[in-house]
Structure 1
């Protein structure tokens, strides 16, 4: 046995001892805790900058995410008009029959209207409500909360005339934790959890919507996973939620979220079973380690 072999053997024993010692004395990783820390940090940055509840990174805006999609080689919806600070600036007649009005900041479906020109009115495809043929009517319908926030009109992504299901991919710098399928197109909103290999994970979280294991997979599951992985690897961060939609052009990037949902509002709890909270926390830390290897001294977690 050579001295080199002895050295390697001693090193391996030391590493195992250190890992076992840490596991006994350091709390196990928690996704919930890491997400809470990220949210607190963002709030502290906002206070330092004297800004309100808005993204602290340009790439977290709807405009910035267009650049993210381009870098990752993933399609994203075309912006027809905007950004404008007033609904009256949009030219309704110049917009296609189906389009989306949304703020450039914010997350999820807040302030997002999927509209269709129908029978001389504006029909909301999700809520099934009709509005006068004047975009200013959307102000009282929900956009008043985004007073002063720039708005855009963009392409409505869908297949066969229907809006796409929302696929929310929890990605850890190239590794996929899970995929949350959200079907919000009907009054009975529901969701399903998938592994990156297309398996039904069951209700591993405490989301308040109805769980529907009968929801079908996307047309091309592999393409969806690969798109999320590409977006995740294009951003030097250990965790990001990648929202994707199906389209005739393949997966389309809808949104990139660094701190998804609310930690406190019951509808958007990012709380998982103890097993999955630890698993996702470990994936977060593993992603941090890979980032250190990739970026070197330019990345300090």
Structure 2
């Protein structure tokens, strides 16, 4: 099925309304239109690559904000060489959700990890989503230390033309996933995206101002990008950059906020800063 038709069917099923791809208005429509007219697939691939993006982040904001890479390669090394300190996480550098956590010795199952990683390396990245830049990423495995002393909130900053407009907080990721939105001043927002909002208090993260500054530096030159961080006592650590969060098929409640976020996009896309910085990034 041609991409435009496939995305339309998926969109109607997920979002409940017929999308406009040629003249998109809502945030979700604009994400689909981006997939159909990727401005620079090579750049998207480089920054969506969980390994390659680290060099970009180090150059723009500094290595101190990176989670260390304990090992990387196209296939797992011999078992005798897998001396990574527990806890750690094994990841694939392309796509989303391709990870395996080893929190303690009881979870260390080499056979399972070998089977998982072999599958990651050969399967195309969900072709029906048409996020084709993920398949342009040279596939690698990587191992990182498992950061924090327990479950961490994910702080996902929505950046339009180098300016953070919303901070998305994903909590209880592995038990009862919740998603809550705040303004950059940490004012609770009256909408949600796919998941229910967190019912417990979410205090302002200690390094919110710094995370906003760093996200805006990384997001400069893009009409929209989501930049993710974890906030630890010693400071924030970079997570990833995402150009089509949720593949553009996560419904908003109430739905009018889909349009409100979409209205932030045109001014960002037409701004001289995005045009100039975009040309610089693509050079």
TM-score (norm 1): 0.69
Structure 1 pair 67–187 and aligned structure 2 pair: CA distance change class (3 A):
same
Query: Residue in 2 aligned with 1:77?
Result: 67
- For residue 200 of structure 1, give the secondary structure of its aligned residue in structure 2: coil
The answer (yes or no) to whether the contact 1:261–1:270 under 8 Å persists in 2 is no
Alpha-carbon distance change, 38 to 185 in structure 1, aligned in 2, over 3 angstroms? closer
Give, in whole Å, the separation in 2 of the partners of 1:106 and 1:279. Answer: 28
C-alpha separation between the residues in 1 aligned to 2:29 and 2:209? 31
1:86 aligns with 2:75: yes
Q: Is residue 198 of structure 2 the alignment partner of residue 212 of structure 1?
A: yes
- 1:293–1:40 distance in 2 versus 1, CA, 3 Å: closer
- 2:246 pairs with one of 251, 261, 266: 261
State the number of aligned residues.
Answer: 240
Q: Does residue 290 in structure 1 map to residue 260 in structure 2? A: no
Question: What is the alpha-carbon distance in structure 2 between the residues aligned to residue 170 and residue 137 of structure 1?
Answer: 35
Q: Following TM superposition, by how much is the alpha carbon of 1:63 offset from its aligned partner in structure 2, in angstroms?
A: 1.6
5+ long unaligned stretches in structure 1: 1-26, 50-54, 123-130
Distance 1:242 1:31 in 2: 16
Is 1:99 matched up with 2:88?
A: yes
Q: State the alpha-carbon separation in 1 of the partners of residues 27 and 88 from structure 2.
A: 36
What per-residue deviation string (whole Å, max 9, x for no partner) do you get for residues 87-114 of structure 1?
A: 345766521222111111112xx12223
| Structure 1 stretch displaced more, 163-172 or 84-93 | 84-93
CA contact (8 A) 1:166 1:245 kept: yes
User: How far is the alpha carbon of 1:199 from its aligned partner?
Assistant: 0.8
- Gap runs ≥5 in structure 2: 1-22, 123-138
Distance verdict in 2 for CA 1:223–1:292, change over 3 Å: closer
From the superposition, tell whether residues 187 and 272 of structure 1 become closer, same or farther in structure 2 (CA, over 3 Å).
Answer: closer
Shift >6 Å, 4+ stretches: none
1:189 and 2:164 correspond: no
Aligned equivalents of 1:289 and 1:89: distance in 2?
51
Aligned partners of 1:244 and 1:251 also within 8 Å: yes
Q: Summarize deviations over 1:4-38 as a string: whole Å, max 9, x none.
A: xxxxxxxxxxxxxxxxxxxxxxx783212211101
Aligned match of 1:279:
260
The aligned counterpart of 1:157 is 147
Cα deviation digits, residues 255-284 of structure 1 (max 9, x gap): 0011111234xxxx1546454223322221
Question: Cα RMSD between the aligned structures?
Answer: 3.1
Q: 1:270 to 1:291 in 2, by over 3 A?
A: farther
Please say if residues 28 and 278 of structure 1, whose CA atoms lie closer than 8 Å, have aligned partners that are also in contact.
no
Q: Distance in 2 between matches of 1:190 and 1:297?
A: 34
1:172 aligns with 2:160: yes
Distance in 2 (CA, whole Å) between partners of 1:240 and 1:29 is 17
Structure 2 Cα separation of the partners of residues 277 and 88 of structure 1: 45
The aligned residue for residue 39 of structure 1 is 35
Please tell me whether the aligned partners of residues 262 and 270 of structure 1 are also in contact (alpha carbons under 8 angstroms). no
CA offsets per residue over residues 203-259 of structure 1, 9 Å max, x none?
Answer: x2441x2321424232232222222222212xx211001111112431111100111
Structure with bigger gyration radius = 1
**Over residues 155-184 of structure 1, what are the superposed CA-to-partner deviations in whole Å (9 max), with x where a residue is unaligned?**
3222xx124211111111222221111113
Residues 92, 140 of structure 2: 8 Å contact kept: yes
Corresponding position: 1:201 with 2:189 = yes
Q: Name the SS for the 1:246 alignment partner.
A: strand
The counterpart of 1:146, out of the listed 112, 120, 131, is 120
